[in-house]
Amino acid sequence: MDAVSVYYTQGRNEVATGSYILPITEALLIPSLGQISAQTTAEYMASILDNQTAISLLARAPQTITNPAYFQLFNLRPYTSQVASAVTLVGFIYSIIITFFVTMSGAGAREVIGPYLKTSTYIKLRIIVPILLYFPLSLIYSMISLPFHLPFGAKYSYAGGFFLFWCMMFVGMCALGLATEAAITLLTPRFIPFFLIPFIVINVSVTVVPNEMQPWVRLISFFV
């Protein structure tokens, strides 16, 4: 069992680990170690042809040569909190929709006061105001996750993990919200809903499968 050691972190992405990494690893190691076992068994049997003591001991424990070499799996970061998938998958969809509502509300309000603003003030209004709104919204979203007992203290303290999660959600909302702000400039409020659907699919898909394992259509859409 100590011949080969396989280290992996299931917590990084349980879908990729169970569907790709472990099956590919086992498909590679099992035939390879089977060949090694057959070779070592043949060499050992050839070496004990004249050793009756070794043959009698082998007859008592034949399993010692049937599979002499194998591998062990070491999961450095197990995936133990299934409830986290609701926050990272469904909750991420809601956070994108919230930023979309902020963008649409801001667009409606700017139609009234926009003609009275200078260009520099108008640009600052579109950037600063949404960021200020995302600050309490990201905190509210993070606090909603507390009753579900997410393991915020897996690496840091529970409080430190919570505030790190809050910062991550705030930065994520800023990135998503400012992207929709840029899109609404080109598409106008009339066509921006058509942008929302592929925007959600592209951003949420990474919570299920890593970028390296995404279909080529999704990767092209991401880079575009």
- For position 218, what pLDDT does the model report? 55
115 and 202 housed in the same domain: yes
Q: Residue 39: is its pLDDT beyond 80?
A: no
CA 135 to chain centre: 24
- For position 34, what pLDDT does the model report? 79
- Choose between 124 and 50: higher pLDDT: 124
Q: Which of 40, 58, 75 is the last residue of a domain?
A: 75
Nearest to 166 by CA among 198, 130, 140, 129: 140
Tally of domains in the chain: 2
31 and 97 housed in the same domain: no
C-alpha distances out from residue 139 to 89, 145, 155, 168, Å? 18, 10, 21, 10
- d(CA 224, CA 222) in angstroms, rounded, equals 6
By the 8 A CB rule, do 126 and 61 touch? no
- Choose between 193 and 44: higher pLDDT: 193
By the 8 A CB rule, do 204 and 96 touch? yes
123 and 153 housed in the same domain: yes
Nearest to 207 by CA among 44, 93, 103: 93
66: exposed, middle or buried (Cβ count in 10 Å: 0-12, 13-18, 19+): exposed
The H or E element spanning position 71 is strand 71-75
94 and 42 housed in the same domain: no
31 and 141 housed in the same domain: no
Q: Residue 136: is its pLDDT beyond 90?
A: yes
- For position 56, what pLDDT does the model report? 75
* Beta-carbon-side half-sphere exposure of residue 87 (alpha carbons within 13 Å): 21
Q: What is the pTM of this model?
A: 0.70
131 and 215 housed in the same domain: yes
By the 8 A CB rule, do 68 and 37 touch? yes
134 and 159 housed in the same domain: yes
Tell me the pLDDT tens digit for each residue of 9-28: 888 778 888 888 889 998 98
- Choose between 142 and 60: higher pLDDT: 142
108 and 200 housed in the same domain: yes
Range of the domain at 51: 4-75
120 and 177 housed in the same domain: yes
Q: Which of 54, 75, 96 is the last residue of a domain?
A: 75
Q: Which of 23, 54, 75 is the last residue of a domain?
A: 75
- d(CA 30, CA 71) in angstroms, rounded, equals 8
- For position 223, what pLDDT does the model report? 47
Tell me the pLDDT tens digit for each residue of 74-87: 998 888 777 777 78
203 and 132 housed in the same domain: yes
Backbone angles phi, psi at 7, to 5 degrees: -110, 130
- For position 64, what pLDDT does the model report? 67
The average confidence (pLDDT) of the chain is 82
52 and 144 housed in the same domain: no
